[in-house]
Amino acid sequence: MSRAIILPEDPDLAAAPAGWVVVAGRALAGPEATAALARAIAPVLRAGDTILLQGQLGAGKSHFARALIRALMGPEGECAEIPSPTFTLVQAYDSAAGEIFHADLYRMGDPGELVELGLDAAMEEAICLIEWPDRIAPDWPATAICLRLETPVGAAERREVTMLAPEGSDLAARCHVAVAA
């Protein structure tokens, strides 16, 4: 039986857990800059890495995830269908770098559903891209990083990205050059 989950239009973004710090950030001049950031991060990712994609509705989380999945899939990804997991909650893909899980937790009812969705296991074994990690805050995996996408006030045509991660994060160190560029 399906349940109606009523959510506010603009829910507050969750604060990062204690011990997480801002590592880097920069402006993204338009959608192509967001996609280019995803393509720059793709080569440094490996199985067990999780990127939490935080931002309001329309911030560009799916746009980033799509470009990243395409890059990881190589030539096969160029024409692959990469639907938003808004309703399925999770979509999985195969790539040379390992399995990729793309999740959107916006409509997840209870954090316990992470197990049913296979996401808790995927976070250890696959590359995971998770939109709306606010739903599981403050239980963000210590192996994850968070990319927060924000629309500057009065500048809807661009975004700003901030990378947050636990202090000393190995994944953040691997992504640093791309995010601080």
Ligand X SMILES: Nc1ncnc2c1ncn2[C@@H]1O[C@H](COP(=O)(O)OP(=O)(O)OP(=O)(O)O)[C@@H](O)[C@H]1O
Give me the residues that bind ligand X (CB under 6 A), please. Answer: 28, 30-31, 33-34, 55, 57-63, 131, 157-159
- Contact residues for Mg ion (CB under 5 A)? 61-62, 131
- Minimum gap (Å) between residue 172 Cβ and Mg ion: 23
Q: How far is the CB of 177 from ligand X (least distance, A)?
A: 19
Q: Which residue is nearest to Mg ion (CB)?
A: 62
Question: How far, in Å, CA of 85 to CA of 40, rounded?
Answer: 23
- The listed partner (ligand X, Mg ion, none) that binds 50, CB under 5 to 8 Å by sort, is none
For 175-181, the CB contacts below 8 A with 24+ separation are: 175/41, 175/44, 175/145, 176/23, 176/24, 177/40, 178/37, 178/40, 178/41, 178/44, 179/23, 179/24, 179/25, 179/26, 179/37, 179/41, 179/147, 180/24, 180/25, 180/26, 181/26, 181/40
Cβ-closest position to ligand X: 60
Q: From the list Mg ion, ligand X, none, pick the one residue 63 interacts with, judged by a Cβ distance below 5 to 8 Å according to partner type.
A: ligand X
Give the nearest distance from C-beta 68 to ligand X in angstroms. Answer: 12
